[in-house]
Structure 1
Amino acid sequence: MREIYYEPKADEKHLLIHPETGRKDQSNTGLFERGILCAHCDNILGRFEDFAFQMLKRLRAVRIGRKIGTNSYINEGTYPFSVAMADEFVRFACGVLWKYSSVPPDEPFHIDIGECRLLFENICFHGAVIPEGVDVFIERDLFSFAAFSDPAQVYYYCSPSIGRRGNQTSHNLSWFSVGGFTIYVKLNQPGISDFAPEECWMRGRQNCFFNVDTRSIEANSGVLDSIRRTRDDLAKLNKGIQAK
């Protein structure tokens, strides 16, 4: 499922897109599932979300290339950044995956993360120690970089996927996209997956790196079709978007 929205946390207007069925739902606040979180836990996850969104907003400003007309020139590699509490971001990512694993299995955005569901619940909501098998790295979403230059333009959120990623040392990962980045989460497995440079894994660090790789364009390339098919709908919700 893809969620496309305009001016997040301000005048929010969303379209929830289900590519498999073509279904489109309008919403003022985005995806919301009743009965999953109590008020206390919702506040905990909200605190981690605020931390994550502020961090990603800062990192979006890092220059990773340049755009001339419709062409983008990307400097691939790893980019350093400092964060006081990287584990807060790890807890945010665990909370997102816990939430999507807690919706009813017949919902199109449900994910099955097995025993990690309870583990991630304890990490996010109960302050449990983050084990070595759980880690996170972030990769700049180059499709977002190429498509949108103004932070107030259309954003999109892609709900989590699961798969095995890596070369010599592959692991089961889950990933989702928000705020111009794709967040990859290691699903409680030992060792370091070589799907990302070793310095990009964030658990327990203050001096971190995010990854820039042209492969990220493929991860969310389907968003382009969703935006094209919903442009007229978005224009009805937001005057800043031009209809076809």
Structure 2
Amino acid sequence: MACLICGEAKTIEAHLIPKAFVAEVKTERGVQHLILHKGEARPRVSHTGVYDRGILCGPCDSILGGHEDYALELLRELRKPSGPSGGIIGVDPIDGDRMVRFAAGIAWKYAVTTQPGRIDIGPYVDVLADVALRDAPIPPSVDVAMLRIVELDGDVYFYRTPMPDRKEGANVVRFTVGSFIFFLKIDQRRNGSTLPAECWLRGRTKGAFVTGDAELTEEGRMHRQLSSSAPSRRFFTEMRARKARRP
């Protein structure tokens, strides 16, 4: 299958969630990650996350890689400050448009993939491709905001693949990496007031994000439930047993 952006015949194994974000998830050395998809009875195991061989060539994937590298380093820095749950933490400087292009790239990959987790975002498939991969001007209908999930020790325990959602009547794509929930708006409607205006990052060089306890978020509660499920317990019990048998 040819690259969906430039038509190049030779495509690569393009990671849907960037490999570096997968590797951030806290785990013991040598222990694989557990991937659970809604509706699947058995979890999958992986060291690097899910990839698709049929969507991007190397040069086009590297365009997304530039946005992903920027986001990775920024989120690592933003995890360092501590503050009360529900607080607003300023970010200065920030390349807000780069963060929009990063989030657009993640959502686009899940909108075109044939792997589990594919999402339907209608006509915004082409809009996000233009934003993330063709350096097009970002329209007002596309914007992104972040919410920091605060665990007890501030580490990263999970990621969540994109899913369509609604926020104050506006369509968004919601996903989690680096202990941040991203809300990528794909709608002509206004951003809404649930999150402060400065948290919406399109066009900003100074921005902000909100913090919240993991247990107060859908993602945090889901992580707790899935990690305590029977398939998860069996997997981690087996992995610990394997580690104990090593010389």
Structure with the largest fraction of strand = 1
Residue among 111, 134, 140 paired with 1:126: 134
Q: How many angstroms does 1:13 deviate by?
A: 3.2
Q: What are the residue-to-residue correspondences of 1:50-89 with 2, within 5 Å?
A: 50-65=69-84, 74=85, 76-89=86-99
Structure 1 pair 137–238 and aligned structure 2 pair: CA distance change class (3 A): farther
Residues 1:157 and 2:159 are matched in the alignment: yes
Residue 216 (structure 1) shift: 7.2
Structure 1 unmatched ranges of 5 or more: 66-73
Contact 1:19 1:226 in 2 (8 A): no
Once residues 195 and 87 of structure 1 are traced to their aligned partners in structure 2, the CA distance between those partners, rounded to angstroms, is 21
1:8 shift after superposition:
5.2
Aligned equivalent of 1:202: 201
Corresponding position of 2:111: 101
1:233 equivalent among 235, 239, 243: 235
Q: How far did 1:25 drift? A: 1.0
Question: Could you state the TM-score of these two structures normalised by the residue count of structure 2?
Answer: 0.78
- 1:133-160 deviations in Å (ceiling 9; x for gaps): 1110000124xx23xx164xx6211111
Secondary structure at the aligned position of 1:155 is classed as coil
The one of 43, 49, 53 equivalent to 1:30 is 49
C-alpha distance in 2, partners of 1:207/1:160? 26
Distance in 2 of aligned mates of 1:6 and 1:125 = 24
* Structure 2 counterparts to residues 107-118 of structure 1, below 5 A: 107-118=115-126
Spell out structure 1 runs of 4+ moving beyond 3 A.
Answer: 4-13, 213-216, 234-239
| 1:186 corresponding residue in structure 2 | 185
Indicate conservation of the 8 Å contact 1:173/1:185, yes or no.
yes
1:190 Cα deviation after fit: 3.8
8 Å Cα contact 2:149-2:214 kept in structure 1:
no
- What is the Cα deviation at residue 238 of structure 1? 7.3
Query: Given the two structures, how large is their TM-score scaled by the length of structure 1?
Result: 0.79
> Matched residues in 2 for 1:13 and 1:42: separation?
25
Q: Which residue identity is paired with 2:90?
A: P
**Structure 1 equivalent of residue 172 of structure 2:** 173
* Comparing 177-186 and 213-222, the one that deviates more: 213-222
Match of 2:4 in 1: none
Matched residue SS, 2:136:
coil
Q: Is the 8 A contact 1:131 1:188 kept in 2?
A: no
Q: Report if aligned partners of 1:15, 1:30 keep a CA contact under 8 Å in 2.
A: no
Deviation at 1:46, TM superposition (A): 1.3
C-alpha separation between the residues in 2 aligned to 1:109 and 1:121? 18
The 2-side partners of 1:110 and 1:119 are apart by 17
Shift of 1:43: 0.8
Say which is worse superposed, 15-24 or 87-96, in terms of deviation. Answer: 15-24
Q: Partner amino acid for 2:79?
A: R
Q: Deviations over 1:168-194 (max 9, x none)?
A: xx3111110111110001103142222
Q: In structure 2, how many angstroms separate the alpha carbons of the residues matched to 1:116 and 1:171? A: 13
Aligned positions, number: 220
What is the aligned partner in structure 2 of residue 69 from structure 1? none
C-alpha deviation, 1:11, in angstroms: 6.3
Q: Distance in 2 between matches of 1:7 and 1:139?
A: 18
Cα 1:6–1:217, aligned 2, differ >3 Å: closer, same or farther? farther
Contact 1:13–1:238 (8 Å) recurs in 2:
no
Paired letter, 2:226: S
Distance in 2 (CA, whole Å) between partners of 1:155 and 1:80 is 24
CA contact (8 A) 1:111 1:161 kept: yes
